[in-house]
Structure 1
Amino acid sequence: MTTPRGARGAVPRHDDRRRSFPQVAPREAPDGRFAATWWGNAWVEALEDAALDPARLARGKAYAGRGHVDAITVTPGRVVAYVHGSRPRPYRTEIRMRTLGDDGWERFLDETTARPDHIAALLDKDVPHALEAVTGLLPAPGDLVPDCSCPDDGYPCKHAAALCYQAARLLDEDPFVLFLMRGRGEQELLAELTRRNAALSAAETTAAAPPMPTVPARAVFDAAARAGLSLPPPLPLPDRPGRPAVFPPDPDAPDPLALDLLASEAAARAHVFLTSGHDPVAALTPWQDAVRLAAAHPGSGLTASTRALYRDLAYALDRTPTDLARAVAAWRQGGAAGLAVLEEPWDPPAGPFDRARPALIAADFPAFRPWRNRLSTESLQLRLGRDGLWYGYESDAGREDWWPRGAPDHDPVGALTDLLGR
């Protein structure tokens, strides 16, 4: 499903290739080195081996130790932060590096998948030395390209050096930051490793298991018929759909209320299909199905879970919660036909539509104006559906904000009477 964008105030989609980190607290490794891990220190060594001025490095290390580096943002091939110097306004500083190409990532993924202990190490925030040897994840001298808005043309200046030192501490905390610097986000990598590991496991299982003997189904039926046997009767159908299991809350799992909703809907759909041979949902579009789901539950605003349901369904289909609430009102008014009346103006043929205005005038409702399949006043509207029913709508006077109201009727006067009586 798709998602709505910023103009509607929707929650932004998570970007796996852009991470921001708050200011890193100064600390020193037990052995006196700046970083605590071998890959963090390898990062520092790549900076120091390429530096042209040891004095600037020393000042940069001091800046990093005193907390002069603000929050750090990491994207593929780029590390950016504001670094405070001697002037009141901080300098925008960045470190650029080459990202790994597809061949490099293929080597990394193949090597990692081939060794379960490598996957376990990565999940434990550790980088095996073998992965670096195969793929060249860590920068070599000259791979790190500093840039800063300060007037110092040193390579690197003390602000870029400070950023590079602080970035080493980020790598200590989470090696997936290094992978992001090289071009791949954490979720992207884990998903691909999971897929490859599952495929490898399936291939190993298939290769290890002997093929099962098979018998053609037709041969079984023919043998049973010759022996005078018949199939047992099918199991009786339950009176109602079953209830889903209880899903305990888990911060790393989907919303249990959403799981319960989807499981309940799947059970109801399966029950209808078993009893009638008809799938009530198969012909619906994603939008129609979302409206149907929301319409089957209490109206928006009654409970927190219902508000979340409306928000999430609307977000997934590039609509607003108000769009969904209006569509739900139409669905409750007339199902899929009612939703079509809400969303699809059309030109009806001569007949019932032409007879509607004289009928309304005779019933003392003379102010209705026609447009396509609609008859409107300032605050009331009747819409003729393709099913031959009239659907009532209301709006505040002077606004084109029409909401479905009342029950549909073959008689426009009946539909209007029901609308006004509510």
Structure 2
Amino acid sequence: MSPHRPGPARRVPLHDDHRRSFPQLAPAQHADGRFAATWWGNAWVEALEDTALDPARLARGRAYASTGHVDAITVTPGRVVAYVHGSRPRPYRAEIRLRVLGDDDWERFLDAAAARPDHIAALLDKDVPHALAAAVDLLPGPGDLIPDCSCPDHGYPCKHTAALCYQAARLLDEDPFVLFLMRGRGEQEILAALSHRNATRAAAETTAAPPRMPTVPARDALARTSAPGARPLMDGPALPPPLPAPDRPGRPPVYPEDPEAPDPLALELLATEAAARAHAFLVTGHDPVASLTPWQDAVRLAAAHPGSGLTASTRALYRDLAAALDRTPADLARAVAAWRQGGPAGLAVLEEAWDPPAGPFDRARPALIAADFPHFRPWRNRLSTRSLQLRYGRDGLWYGYESDPDREDWWPRGFPDADPVGALAALLGR
């Protein structure tokens, strides 16, 4: 008998980020007859309904969707496919096609998402901001969805593709990354691109050349007399003053994945924590952590990590920190933006509305009007337009905030300034 020879190693299939299959959805619809609860899910349905030629076929499609006639749904770039059971024993293959976005469109979308932490936080929280969807033609319009079915009905759409469209809207409700896949990019591909943009921005912030400092050669500072064993000369060159403290603590390197090494995220957090506390001791002489509340400390820890909750490990960090304090990852992301804007004072501005005394606050509106910004409305320590807001902090600084128009979803942006016009200029990038 010949000795046993092992066969070739079995190749583990790689995750296909461009193909997702969803099991058959249970029959369901909302009390108002809609299949979608989100604005983007309803936009998907309306894109097909607005071009439908026969309302009766749409009604049959809604009935099919609500009674479980649609089997498992497969989504790939530009296509949504499922088998739909009709009046015959054999199901029909229904398909909806739509245009995938080009590379230039995706670059605009990713740039818009990476430019604002609230957009990133919304995506991670399975939400799609209106402004982000408007950056490109992300949502289909009338005529953008092309139905096709193996049934003999030539209606546009037939009841089978209409049923598939209604059930697909429920998938979009649960996970907007399904919509992105329909438009050509998978979830991991998008998150990797956003993470790369964040890393590039962080690297640009930390690689600026430091200013030249006065120095003394070590051989001159440690010069000795020619006699053996003599002590160093005391009248040598004067040593330069100590180096000034850096503006901010340094960021640790990215630790490689290694099965034998500790968790890279834990190492990075420890290094970041050590750098931040050492910098505080160097500059102020006291530990800034001792007086923080658990929520403030959680925000500080998340803000110290440059990943912004994009990678799997930092998403887990945001989720765990938020859950431990009965908050959502979006709450934590907003608080992190405030902390990065102004530290504990910035977080207090985010979370506290108060009545400031007369003085700088009362002079702010005339200053803004003089600078051609007349439309700010006052409320307590805040001045607001439909999409811009300035908040006056107890530290005497103005903090900029931004929201999509009329949504009251304010996110910190820009840098605090003692002058409201200066804070507004930082908010607008001027």
User: What TM-score, normalized by structure 1, do the two folds share?
Assistant: 0.50
> What's the offset of the Cα at 1:107?
1.0
C-alpha offsets along residues 316-350 of structure 1, whole Å, 9 cap, x if unaligned? xxxxxxxxxxxxxxxxxxxxxxxxxxxxxxxxxxx
Structure 2 match to 1:40 = 41
CA distance in 1, matches of 2:32, 2:22: 26
SS at match of 2:135: helix
> What's the offset of the Cα at 1:80?
0.8
Aligned 8 A contact 1:95 1:147 in 2: yes
- Partner letter of residue 48 of structure 1? E
CA gap 1:84/1:211 in 2 versus in 1, 3 angstroms:
same
- Partner letter of residue 121 of structure 1? A
Structure 2 match to 1:223 = 220
Structure 1 match to 2:161 = 160
Count of residue correspondences: 230
CA gap 1:152/1:202 in 2 versus in 1, 3 angstroms:
same
Give % identity: 73
Aligned 8 A contact 2:57 2:157 in 1: yes
C-alpha offsets along residues 247-304 of structure 1, whole Å, 9 cap, x if unaligned? xxxxxxx999x344999xxxxxxxxxxxxxxxxxxxxxxxxxxxxxxxxxxxxxxxxx
- Partner letter of residue 148 of structure 1? C
C-alpha offsets along residues 23-58 of structure 1, whole Å, 9 cap, x if unaligned? 112222355422010000000000100111111111
> What's the offset of the Cα at 1:220?
3.9
Structure 1 match to 2:210 = 211
Report which stretch shifted further, 108-117 or 31-40. Answer: 31-40
> What's the offset of the Cα at 1:213?
3.7
Aligned 8 A contact 1:30 1:36 in 2: no
> What's the offset of the Cα at 1:93?
1.2
Q: How does 1:188-207 map to 2 (within 5 A)?
A: 188-204=189-205
> What's the offset of the Cα at 1:9?
3.2
After the TM superposition, list the runs of 4 or more consecutive aligned residues in structure 1 that deviate by more than 6 angstroms.
none
Aligned 8 A contact 1:28 1:36 in 2: no
CA distance in 2, matches of 1:102, 1:14: 22
RMSD of equivalent CA atoms: 2.9
5+ unaligned residues in a row in structure 1: which ranges?
1-5, 231-253, 264-422
CA distance in 1, matches of 2:73, 2:8: 28
CA distance in 1, matches of 2:224, 2:125: 62
SS at match of 2:161: helix
Structure 2 match to 1:83 = 84
C-alpha offsets along residues 152-179 of structure 1, whole Å, 9 cap, x if unaligned? 1111111111111111000000000000
> What's the offset of the Cα at 1:225?
5.6
CA distance in 1, matches of 2:65, 2:104: 35
CA gap 1:82/1:110 in 2 versus in 1, 3 angstroms:
same
- Partner letter of residue 11 of structure 1? V
Structure 2 match to 1:74 = 75
- Partner letter of residue 191 of structure 1? A
Structure 1 match to 2:110 = 109
5+ unaligned residues in a row in structure 2: which ranges?
1-6, 226-230, 233-255, 265-430
More helix by share: 1
- Partner letter of residue 201 of structure 2? L
- Partner letter of residue 184 of structure 2? G
CA distance in 2, matches of 1:108, 1:227: 65
Structure 1 match to 2:65 = 64
Aligned 8 A contact 2:35 2:167 in 1: no
Structure 2 match to 1:347 = none
Larger Rg: 1
Structure 1 match to 2:51 = 50
CA distance in 2, matches of 1:24, 1:152: 25
